[in-house]
Amino acid sequence: MNTVKVKNLVLGEGIPKICVPIVAKTKREIIEEAGSFRAIPVDLVEWRVDWFEGVEDLEQVKDVLSDLVAVLEGTPLLFTFRTAAEGGERAIDPAAYAALNKAVAATGLVDLVDVEAFIGDAVARDIIEAAHGEGVKVVASNHDFGKTPPMDDILYRLRKMQDLGADIPKIAVMPQSRTDVLRLLEATTIMVERYADRPIITMSMAGTGAVSRLAGEVFGSCLTFGAANKASAPGQVGVQELSEALQLIHKSMQ
């Protein structure tokens, strides 16, 4: 299994890394929230730009990014516009989605961009190729807030992301039962053991799926999302508690 290195962060080995999302509407709120991360264990920061009130103005996005990078002081940054179709704050035309992600990758201010794998093959490939051309890594993602798909479908989605050329495939699904959580964890293990040649991220959402956010080292998910202030998805655990749980599981595996 290959690893993915972003600045000094290596994804795909050891304890799963912790990503903390920023979900805020104004530049002031975004920068203040980022500043508060100095006091918590965070490996990667995700800016959920779909929450930002000025997202339709590229110059405002770039302005925030410039100050955000300065405040983060070397912590890698993941840029994400989560579409309404996948649980985000607003809808966006695929062409505008591609233009935004490509323009942001070209600024040199972000380390990774999130590309929704099912936005359309041509659009996804276009963004991935452009990002790689700028030296930016890509997380290909898929979010199912309604259900946990069958095993074959979960594996199909993850393998498709790999085929699209993403550096890290990611899937998040909603459990309707405890059995759904087990299915997601089993699919993660099968993907890692049989198909993946790069790190993957998987999670089962809501409280029922919280174990999937803690046990990535056991089953094969390289990164987990924790909440510092406002959670960006159902079931996110507080960062401090998340870090302690990850450390405890890591020690038990030695």
Q: Which residues are annotated as a binding site for 3-dehydroquinate?
A: 46-48, 82, 213, 232, 236
> What is the DSSP pairing of strand 9-11 with strand 4-6?
antiparallel
CA pair distance 132, 128, nearest whole angstrom: 6
How far apart, in Å, do the first and last CA atoms of the chain sit?
20
CA pair distance 229, 250, nearest whole angstrom: 25
DSSP alpha helix (H) spans, 50-150: 58-72, 94-106, 121-133
CA pair distance 105, 132, nearest whole angstrom: 9
Q: Are 68 and 110 in contact (CB under 8 A)?
A: no
Q: Which long-range contacts (CB under 8 A, 24 or more apart) does 234-237 make?
A: 234/174, 234/205, 234/206, 234/207, 235/203, 235/204, 235/205, 235/206, 235/207, 235/208, 235/209, 235/210, 237/210, 237/213
Residue 147 falls in the annotated catalytic set: no
Active-site residue, from 17, 102, 137, 170: 170
Residue 137 falls in the annotated catalytic set: no
Active-site residue, from 7, 25, 143, 250: 143
Length of the chain: 254
Burial label for 143, CB within 10 Å (0-12, 13-18, 19+), is buried
Q: Which residues are annotated as catalytic?
A: 143, 170
